[in-house]
Amino acid sequence: MNLLERLTFFIKDNSLFEDDDKILLTVSGGRDSMLLTFLLAKAGYQIAIAHCNFKLRGAESDLDECLVRDFAEAHGIPFYVRHFDTEQIASERGISIQMAARELRYSWFEELREALSFDKIAVAQHLNDHIETVLLNLSRGTGLQGLQGIQAKRDRLIRPLLFLKAEEVLHYVQEYQIPYRDDQSNFSTKYARNKVRIDIIPQFKKMQPDFERIFEQNIAHFKESYALLQQFITPLRNDLFIKEQEAWIIEKEKLRKHITDLPLLYELFSPFCFSKSVLTDLQSCFDKESGRLFQSEGYDLLLDRDFLIIREKEYKQEDETIITSETKSVSWRNYSFCCDYSHDVSIVRDKQIAKIDTNLLIFPLTLRAWKTGDYFYPLGMTGRKKLSDLFNNYKVNVFEKGNVPILINGNGDIIWVANYQLDNRYKISGNTNKVFILSCK
Amino acid sequence: MNLLERLTFFIKDNSLFEDDDKILLTVSGGRDSMLLTFLLAKAGYQIAIAHCNFKLRGAESDLDECLVRDFAEAHGIPFYVRHFDTEQIASERGISIQMAARELRYSWFEELREALSFDKIAVAQHLNDHIETVLLNLSRGTGLQGLQGIQAKRDRLIRPLLFLKAEEVLHYVQEYQIPYRDDQSNFSTKYARNKVRIDIIPQFKKMQPDFERIFEQNIAHFKESYALLQQFITPLRNDLFIKEQEAWIIEKEKLRKHITDLPLLYELFSPFCFSKSVLTDLQSCFDKESGRLFQSEGYDLLLDRDFLIIREKEYKQEDETIITSETKSVSWRNYSFCCDYSHDVSIVRDKQIAKIDTNLLIFPLTLRAWKTGDYFYPLGMTGRKKLSDLFNNYKVNVFEKGNVPILINGNGDIIWVANYQLDNRYKISGNTNKVFILSCK
């Protein structure tokens, strides 16, 4: 097979795109992206070029842009370019220049794709990038998933050159006399990926001249093993994890037979990213501490009496709403509150309404969620009580209690656990002359 | 934990041996095996030292032996040594010196272990050997299985030092002032493993100073994934592969639902080592070509009408038995043959007896198995017939036909397909004056 046939075969074999799809090609001017542009144009696909000028290497950056623009014009390929003040944006956002360039690049590509109705965005990564990714993951610690390398296709992003070795790319740009400009930063060993490229892969090639092909086969094997494992895990997970509205419910009884098998547990819970140490905790208190909460980056897991309940962390940021003396209405999460003042000192039995002695209030008041350690003096009880105990009494589970609005006075006192209980200190009394009425819907 | 505690923890954690086990330590005199000896002695285990002098490095080899012997005497450890003429043995057997040394070493250790009733043989490989093995496998092509590294325990062989980094070994032999002698060949980059050790791992360590520990974790993850996959595959295999005497029988109907899933098939058949390309062949003729034989290094798989039948290759070597004019009796595989001469030209109907015109024989005759392309002129039929067709007529399956003794004349003619058919050209006729009688049991 010649190169064009190999490319077409790879595209078909991996279902990268359809013949009549419109492809937006991201072209830096380096040999990889120039070769890909040349080949896709030669194969007659509908392509356009998008070039980012990050202004990071002075005149060099502009020369890259010229090269790509000239090539696009010479081959009648639509050309789009955008200039970024990458350094400034990086410093504004407090992120690295690499990270900023990456974010700018992908958001502009996506914008362009949508605006001009492209079907796919093509990136020119090749086999050596694929292998570097795996070797990098190995150096940083990885499981089987980290051995999958770069995906040839993910959503609309495609990588049609993933079958080609770096040395083949060089060979073909020379053979076809394709213009390109090397980015000198690729040759520095400053970054880990460059170290893998320059110091590690060539050493492997000394042992094994066909290293890239062999490693490509390795990755294919690892992918197969991973997919095969998922083939067994997925039906088991589907059987165990029942989606109910916002939560996944797992019957403890059903999970019990797997609970001692940590590797299996880890795979089963992998969509929720619970660490092995958290799962080890879960194992050890599976039958002991119902009510305990376990956390991952994005999810909470509640170990209830008969069920495990997993929910996405909805409010990762602290959220608080302020009530000033002027506030008429306010909302906090899914609740809305109306504020009013009155001289009616009659008692209401409605848990959704708090009548408070206005003289005791220190504005601004705050509405927020429960925090560990919160306590107050519940009306109708003697003394101080932890909110967690109150919730336990009412059999409020961890997820619900996280959503109960707590009204805080300006001095930090808890005035009201909305929908549950008012604080004894803030109730209206014989001395009350003005009543603050807060009602919750 | 200090070093001794780490060692003890590793021994217990991996159930390497029991406290009262007798351990035969294989000690080269290098830093790894000297440290292991020192530590196991210090921990109070029952140990003895076995040292091989391969005589490969002249006086150096003898100095190694002295060092180990002196150490053993100083610490009151039983010491066993054997001298090998490794180069000569390698050349006699036509194998590499490394291979010869390996074979000699392990067979002597095993001999010693049995003779002196040791429970385990301990080898001093460390974490870096473990990692080198995985990196070597990666450079040569591997699946998940090749990422398992060196086993800490396999049968009676144990590797108690597998938790320790190479640089830690060096640190501790210095700290404890343990004598050792470095084998200079370890520093040459002549062999692939040394390349990994000297050129590749240090490059990874430049990127990631804690590379060994991270890679140790990687390997642990890969092991878990592999074990987890086996957890799913094994019951499926046990359900499909039914062992009957010498064969494994698989119902085609049961296998059908998995037949298109090559990765699963590969895992299911993995104990029999069928390659993916052979299994792809099997897939493509699963419902078409019953009677076809598929082969791996050690096994034959027969695709029969309703079953797949797998058997171990019994006769990997060509085996032939010679019959001279003097032979009285001879055996071939499970059959025995008696040879006799007579003047009785009467016809026998017994398929186990061949009566042949002696004048036509060219000694020595040969008994061998059927080969592809074999043909003869069956008695009672006209013309030439392929043996494969004859076997088909008799519904002899592939395994059986491989065991049918074929009698070959000195000129290459097939004289007799024992137990089935004589060749027309060799039958006794009106001109026959001396009969050669071969009977098969």
Going by C-beta distance under 8 Å and a sequence separation of 6 or more, which residues neighbour residue A96?
A90
Check residue A210 and give its pLDDT. Answer: 93
Does position A63 have pLDDT exceeding 90, yes or no?
yes
From the list B206, B218, B225, which residue is nearest A195 (CB)? B206
| Stretch B236-253: mean pLDDT | 93
Min distance A140 CA to chain B CA atoms (Å): 7
- Nearest CA to A249 out of A290, A288, A304 is that of A304
The single residue listed with the structure tokens 């492997």 is: A204
Does position A314 have pLDDT exceeding 90, yes or no?
no
Question: Within 10 Å of residue A209's Cβ, how many Cβ atoms?
Answer: 10
CA B79/CA B291 separation, integer angstroms: 59
| Stretch B305-323: mean pLDDT | 80
Q: Check residues A172 and B296 and name the one with the higher pLDDT.
A: A172
| Stretch B62-90: mean pLDDT | 94
| B214 interface with A at CB cutoff 8 Å | yes
Q: Check residues A298 and B37 and name the one with the higher pLDDT.
A: B37
Check residue B318 and give its pLDDT. Answer: 59
C-alpha B25 chain-centroid distance: 25
Q: What DSSP string describes A236-257?
A: HHHHHEEEETTEEEEEHHHHGG
Sheet-wide strand order for B292-295? B241-244, B247-251, B307-312, B299-303, B292-295
Does position A389 have pLDDT exceeding 90, yes or no?
no
B288 band by pLDDT with thresholds 50, 70 and 90 = confident
From the list B207, B217, B229, which residue is nearest A228 (CB)? B229
- Asked if B142's CB is within 8 angstroms of A218's CB, the reply is yes
B238 band by pLDDT with thresholds 50, 70 and 90 = very high
Residue-wise pLDDT for A81-127, tens only, equals: 999 998 888 888 777 888 888 888 988 999 999 999 999 999 999 99
Check residue A335 and give its pLDDT. Answer: 86
Check residue A47 and give its pLDDT. Answer: 97
Does position B188 have pLDDT exceeding 70, yes or no?
no
Of the listed ranges A168-172, B4-8, B338-342, the one predicted with least confidence: B338-342
Min distance B312 CA to chain A CA atoms (Å): 26
Check residue A205 and give its pLDDT. Answer: 94
| Stretch A277-284: mean pLDDT | 93
B137 band by pLDDT with thresholds 50, 70 and 90 = very high
Does position A39 have pLDDT exceeding 60, yes or no?
yes
Is the Cα dihedral A391, A394, A397, A400 positive or negative? Answer: negative
For residue A199, the chain B residue with the least C-alpha distance is B203
CA distances from B29 to A302, B50, B67, B160, B189 (A): 57, 11, 7, 17, 21
Mean residue pLDDT of chain A comes to 91
Does position B183 have pLDDT exceeding 80, yes or no?
no
Does position A315 have pLDDT exceeding 60, yes or no?
no
| Stretch A348-362: mean pLDDT | 90
Of the listed ranges A174-178, A275-279, B4-8, the one predicted with least confidence: A275-279
Mutate to test the interface with A, among B198, B211, B218, B233 (most CBs of A within 10 A): B218
Check residue A405 and give its pLDDT. Answer: 93
From the list B200, B207, B232, which residue is nearest A203 (CB)? B200
Q: Which of residues 229-258 of B touch A (CB under 8 A)?
A: 229, 231-232
Lookup: tokens for A87: 């350094």
| Stretch A21-38: mean pLDDT | 96
Of the listed ranges A111-125, A340-354, B200-214, the one predicted with least confidence: A340-354
Check residue A297 and give its pLDDT. Answer: 80
Check residue B382 and give its pLDDT. Answer: 83
Using DSSP bridges, classify how beta strands B120-122 and B157-158 pair: parallel, antiparallel or unpaired.
parallel
Does position A183 have pLDDT exceeding 80, yes or no?
no
Q: Is B320 in contact with B367 (CB distance < 8 Å)?
A: yes
Is the Cα dihedral A361, A365, A370, A373 positive or negative? Answer: negative
Check residue A346 and give its pLDDT. Answer: 87
| A139 interface with B at CB cutoff 8 Å | yes
Domains of chain A, first to last: 3-216 (3.40.50.620), 245-312 (no CATH), 321-440 (3.50.40.10)
| A190 interface with B at CB cutoff 8 Å | no
Check residue B2 and give its pLDDT. Answer: 93
Q: Check residues B234 and B1 and name the one with the higher pLDDT.
A: B234
Mean residue pLDDT of chain B comes to 91
| B198 interface with A at CB cutoff 8 Å | no
A189 band by pLDDT with thresholds 50, 70 and 90 = low
Please confirm whether the linkage preceding A78 is cis (ω < 30° from 0): no
Beta bridge partner(s), residue B86: none
Lookup: tokens for A374: 């919160």
Q: What DSSP string describes A405-428?
A: -EEE-TTS-EEEETTTEEBGGGS-
What does chain A come to in residues?
A: 441
Does position A24 have pLDDT exceeding 80, yes or no?
yes
Min distance B3 CA to chain A CA atoms (Å): 25
For residue A220, the chain B residue with the least C-alpha distance is B143
| Stretch B397-408: mean pLDDT | 84
Check residue B392 and give its pLDDT. Answer: 83
- Asked if B215's CB is within 8 angstroms of A143's CB, the reply is no
- ipTM confidence score: 0.71
Does position B315 have pLDDT exceeding 70, yes or no?
no
Does position B190 have pLDDT exceeding 80, yes or no?
no
Residue-wise pLDDT for A393-441, tens only, equals: 888 877 788 889 999 998 889 999 999 999 999 999 888 889 999 999 8
Greatest Cα-to-Cα distance within chain B, rounded to the nearest angstrom: 95
Does position B189 have pLDDT exceeding 70, yes or no?
no
Which residues of chain B make contact with A267, given a CB cutoff of 8 A? Answer: 228
Question: Within 10 Å of residue A240's Cβ, how many Cβ atoms?
Answer: 17
A34 band by pLDDT with thresholds 50, 70 and 90 = very high
Min distance B147 CA to chain A CA atoms (Å): 10
Please confirm whether the linkage preceding B378 is cis (ω < 30° from 0): no
Check residue B67 and give its pLDDT. Answer: 97
